[in-house]
Homo-oligomer: A and B are copies of this chain.
Amino acid sequence: MSILAIGSIAFDTITSPFGTAERVLGGSCTYFSLAASYFTNVRVVAVVGEDFTPQNEAILKRRGIDTQGIQREKGKTFFWAGQYGENVNEAKTLTTELNVFEQFNPQIPSGYSDTEFLFLGNIHPTLQAHVRRQLNGARLVGGDTMNYWIDRTRDELVQTLKLIDVLLINDGEAKMLARETNLPRAANKVLAMGPRALVIKHGEYGATIFFREGAFGIGRHPFRAPTLPIEEVRDPTGAGDSFAGGFMGYIASQDELTREVLKRALFYGGVMGSFAVERFGTERLQNLSREEIESRFQLFRELTHLA
């Protein structure tokens, strides 16, 4: 089955203690698509400017990603420059130039109307809802958001959450959205807003999925997946988007939507996030093999499973 991803394509200039990468292809949609492409067919809807080259597009095409939903506008592509210090968990943003992304108005190609799996990347919640309503046949809708939208467009976001099956956010975003400092209580409050499941990403500590009573299975026990302790985190940019790509991509590759599938998907999310940070930009996500992915999945299992 195929998954449709909506989000940003950007050029990133990234500096970390390991070096600098100049104007490499980035953006949430890019990381998500590359990560998901190892599991299923991926279609993207995003916007780029005149500086987006055939060589840039080839990075996606080489992974079999369907790029006909990429909209080309006059002007420049979204540009971000950031710096990581010794503590790579904290990015310092040096430059954000939204450029063509500021007026992004996602158009769904008619051939995409059969989309079964949809991922609504981190864009204005009203745009997310607009896309969601055009794809009413979707079996599962994943979504992302961020502090900016929680703070400035809370009402719109709360409406959009009713249209999302699985929301993927981090600890700080969950607490901010729920206005609650205790994480499981925050999770319950977010689930009451609409999603059937909530994935909370804990950075280097992994992620937890919380379920609404009875969603995808019986009961409401949460489930936690780890990330691998990585000794050389060269560039954490895109780790969360790669996590989402592995998570949603694996789900889209399965016939059934069971709780066990979502649990394994949480592991695959961590696996793809752990690969992403090993190299600058999307370099590591461009040339993986399914064997490397399965081997790391096995490492994650050994990291957490008792005999």
Q: Which residues of A contact B (CB under 8 A)?
A: 86-88, 181-185, 187-188, 202, 204-206, 208, 210, 221-226, 229-233, 260, 263-264, 267, 299, 301-307
Does B260 lie within 8 Å of A306, measured CB to CB? yes
Does B303 lie within 8 Å of A222, measured CB to CB? yes
Does B306 lie within 8 Å of A267, measured CB to CB? yes
With both beta carbons as reference points, the residue of chain B lying nearest to A202 in the complex is identified as B205
Contacts of A299 in B (CB 8 A): 221
Minimum distance in angstroms from A225 CB to a CB of chain B: 8
**Residue with the greatest number of chain B CB neighbours at <10 A, chosen from A87, A88, A225, A304:** A304
Does A224 lie within 8 Å of B226, measured CB to CB? yes
Does A184 lie within 8 Å of B223, measured CB to CB? no
With both beta carbons as reference points, the residue of chain B lying nearest to A226 in the complex is identified as B224
Contacts of A183 in B (CB 8 A): 204, 229
Bound complex: CA A229 to CA B188 (Å) = 12
**Residue with the greatest number of chain B CB neighbours at <10 A, chosen from A182, A187, A210:** A182
**Residue with the greatest number of chain B CB neighbours at <10 A, chosen from A181, A184, A224, A230:** A224
10 smallest CB-CB distances across A and B, nearest first, come from: A184-B229, A205-B205, A184-B231, A86-B181, A87-B181, A224-B226, A304-B304, A185-B231, A260-B307, A224-B303
Having A210-B229, A224-B226, A260-B306, one finds 5 other A-B pairs with CB under 8 Å, namely: A87-B181, A183-B229, A208-B229, A264-B306, A267-B306
Bound complex: CA A99 to CA B221 (Å) = 46
Minimum distance in angstroms from A226 CB to a CB of chain B: 5
Does B302 lie within 8 Å of A304, measured CB to CB? no
Bound complex: CA A187 to CA B229 (Å) = 10
Does B184 lie within 8 Å of A230, measured CB to CB? yes
Contacts of A303 in B (CB 8 A): 221-224
Bound complex: CA A88 to CA B267 (Å) = 29
Contacts of A307 in B (CB 8 A): 260, 263
Bound complex: CA A185 to CA B204 (Å) = 14
With both beta carbons as reference points, the residue of chain B lying nearest to A230 in the complex is identified as B184
With both beta carbons as reference points, the residue of chain B lying nearest to A210 in the complex is identified as B229
Minimum distance in angstroms from A84 CB to a CB of chain B: 11
With both beta carbons as reference points, the residue of chain B lying nearest to A86 in the complex is identified as B181
Contacts of A185 in B (CB 8 A): 231
Does A182 lie within 8 Å of B231, measured CB to CB? yes
